[in-house]
């Protein structure tokens, strides 16, 4: 039986799709890729392939968070005494308790709340977008992970959604950390 010296006898895997390939095979029987390149174990490939999904999820969160953060800030800029009074009048019929709470708040407090929460959500989105870009380029893996963690922590401003965003964001950071060997620098 002839044996290709570039292809180890055991644990030969396609570098394109990660499928196990028989020793001495020139082309992968699953995807057709040339197997003369260096065979790679699927675990290393899996970490790299999973980055595409991680990048898309981070990007999606970043776009949504940046949009909500910007909307909250713009809402704070547009908020007026008349708008609050109109809201209170409408809520008196639907939810009198909520209307009485709103009556006790002043415009400055509501604006400040929107600016702080909107700013934190916008910053979270920007961190996620920057992390997604670094993951796409496979550059600066440590920075991509740190930005992902920052986006997760800042997503606390999305209460009560932070019950989902924080753990998912931290898991995305962990996935970036797992694939650190595939990054430049």
CA-CA distance, 53 to 178, in Å (whole number)? Answer: 14
Residues 76-98: b if buried by 16+ CB within 10 A, e if exposed:
beebeeeebeeebeebeeeeeee
Q: Establish if 102 belongs to a structural domain.
A: yes
Together in a domain, 104 and 131: yes
Together in a domain, 34 and 121: no
Together in a domain, 75 and 149: yes
Residue among 178, 147, 164, 142 nearest 62 (CA): 147
Q: Establish if 16 belongs to a structural domain.
A: yes
DSSP letter assigned to residue 8: -
Bridge partners of residue 139, in order along the sequence? 184
Residue among 178, 170, 129, 175 nearest 152 (CA): 170
Q: Establish if 43 belongs to a structural domain.
A: no
CA-CA distance, 41 to 8, in Å (whole number)? Answer: 11
CA dihedral 145, 150, 156, 161 (to 10 degrees): -30
- φ/ψ region of 32 (left if φ > 0, alpha if ψ in -120 to 50, else beta) reads left
Q: Establish if 125 belongs to a structural domain.
A: yes
Together in a domain, 19 and 108: no
Q: Establish if 123 belongs to a structural domain.
A: yes
Together in a domain, 33 and 58: no
Together in a domain, 31 and 65: no
How many domains would you assign to the chain?
2
Tokens at residue 69, please?
């953060």
Together in a domain, 56 and 19: no
Together in a domain, 87 and 59: yes
Q: How far does CA 150 lie from the centroid of its chain?
A: 11
Together in a domain, 84 and 11: no
pLDDT digit string (tens) for the chain, length 185 residues? 444 555 444 557 777 667 777 887 777 776 667 777 544 444 444 445 578 999 999 999 999 999 999 999 999 999 988 988 888 888 888 899 988 888 888 889 889 999 999 999 999 999 999 999 999 999 999 999 999 999 999 999 998 999 999 999 999 999 999 998 888 87
CA-CA distance, 18 to 4, in Å (whole number)? Answer: 19
Q: Establish if 170 belongs to a structural domain.
A: yes
Torsions phi, psi for 11 (to 5 deg): 55, 45
pTM of full prediction above 0.85: no
Q: Establish if 92 belongs to a structural domain.
A: yes
Together in a domain, 18 and 91: no
Q: Establish if 97 belongs to a structural domain.
A: yes
Domain that holds residue 96: 48-176
pLDDT score of 132? 96
């Amino acid at each position: 039986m002839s044996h290709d010296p570039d292809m180890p006898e055991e644990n030969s895997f396609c570098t394109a799709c990660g499928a196990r390939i028989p020793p001495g095979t020139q082309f992968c029987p699953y995807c057709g890729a040339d197997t003369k390149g260096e065979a790679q174990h699927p675990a290393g490939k899996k970490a790299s392939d999973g980055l595409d999904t991680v990048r898309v999820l981070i990007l999606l969160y970043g776009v949504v968070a940046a949009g909500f953060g910007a909307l909250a800030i713009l809402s704070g800029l547009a908020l007026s005494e008349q708008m609050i009074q109109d809201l209170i009048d409408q809520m008196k019929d639907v939810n009198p308790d909520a209307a009485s709470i709103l009556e006790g708040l002043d415009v400055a407090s509501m604006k400040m709340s929107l600016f702080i929460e909107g700013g934190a959500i916008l910053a979270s989105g920007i961190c996620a977008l920057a992390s997604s870009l670094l993951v796409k380029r496979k550059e600066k893996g440590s920075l991509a992970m740190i930005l992902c963690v920052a986006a997760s922590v800042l997503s606390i401003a999305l209460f009560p959604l932070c019950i989902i965003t924080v753990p998912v964001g931290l898991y995305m950071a962990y996935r970036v950390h797992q694939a650190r060997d595939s990054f430049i620098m």
